[in-house]
Amino acid sequence: MTLKRKIKNTGLLLSIFSLLGVNSMNIFAEQTVSNWAQAPFSAMQQKQLIPKSLEKDENFQGEITREEFAELVTTYYLQLKPEPIQGEGIFDDTVNPLVQLAGRLGIVNGTGEGKFSPNDKLTREQASTMFARAEKMVNNNLETTTENSFNDKTKISSWANEGVSTMNKQGIIKGYPDGSFKPQSEMSKEQAIVVTARMAKKNGVLDFEEKQEDTQSDSIEEYANKYGYKIHSSDKYITVVDKNGEDLMSIERKPKECIYTFGAEQISKNRDQSYEFVNLYAKIDEFDKLKNSVDTYIDNKESGVKTIDIDGIKVSMYSTSYGLILTIDNSITKSN
């Protein structure tokens, strides 16, 4: 496969920022939901099953809190088992009536001494256990199991094994493309919404067709885990964020060309990490040739526009006061 064919339909604008937090930016003007999550997410929105604590969130790839999770699952539960929301308060660190109801129902437990810890995050195995409790209350005939085929099943806590295995058998909770479950990873908001949507679909509340998450998403996640980054993506943008919440790299998806803008600090200190991310996303066969050409341009401190041809693809480099702009024109058809 040629370079041209490999990068077709991979339009990008990549802005790579200093790891020191310099020149950071916020691109989230719209809600950010991954492609694979959009169909169930839209179905949940239309049915008004996304609680108010989440409905105006800008980034659904962030970790869900215990309070948000309790609201989400209880809102779904009430669609099938209506009952009064108001009642006895059992947690003393929240006044949220849906959280209190979830506690009274036994969907969620406290964290000790009458506390719920509403702002704490949930791991995937913790969330799976709570999902299973809710599903058992909706479906008295739910068949439970402790068997699963995840390649990291030995990492699943003993108390969570039934919840994870049962919900996986039901097709409600799935693993990653590499066969893992990642039980100790924190559950994202969109993952929790998608799982709730699958439960709602199974019980006749929703109807939608779900897309599969591709293996590229898993590769990007592995990259993020490797360097302690987080990846946020939508139809329009992908952004890499460090542990302090500072934007490091941003990609704007464009249909006709790939435009990479490398910040000076990123190029001088983290060039390999930058290239690794670009290569993972663009999947270019001749990436080494491209990288070497860019390295030469940078290391020789060249200036002005330099245009080269790599396997019939026009690549332009232009040095600016900010850093380097690299444009790959993928609208050119390679001659036979």
The whole-number pLDDT of residue 263 equals 62
Cβ-contact 237, 250 below 8 angstroms? yes
What size, in residues, is the chain? Answer: 336
Instruction: Give every residue of the chain whose pLDDT is below 50, as ranges.
Output: 1-29, 331-336
The whole-number pLDDT of residue 18 equals 29
The whole-number pLDDT of residue 28 equals 32
The whole-number pLDDT of residue 277 equals 77
Q: CA separation (Å) from 302 to 106, 296, 299, 309?
A: 66, 8, 8, 17
DSSP string of 135-177, one letter each residue: HHHH-TTPPP------TTGGGS-GGGHHHHHHHHHTTSS---T
Report the distance separating Cα 34 and Cα 46, nearest Å. 18
pLDDT digit string, tens, across residues 103-131: 999 999 999 999 999 999 999 999 999 99
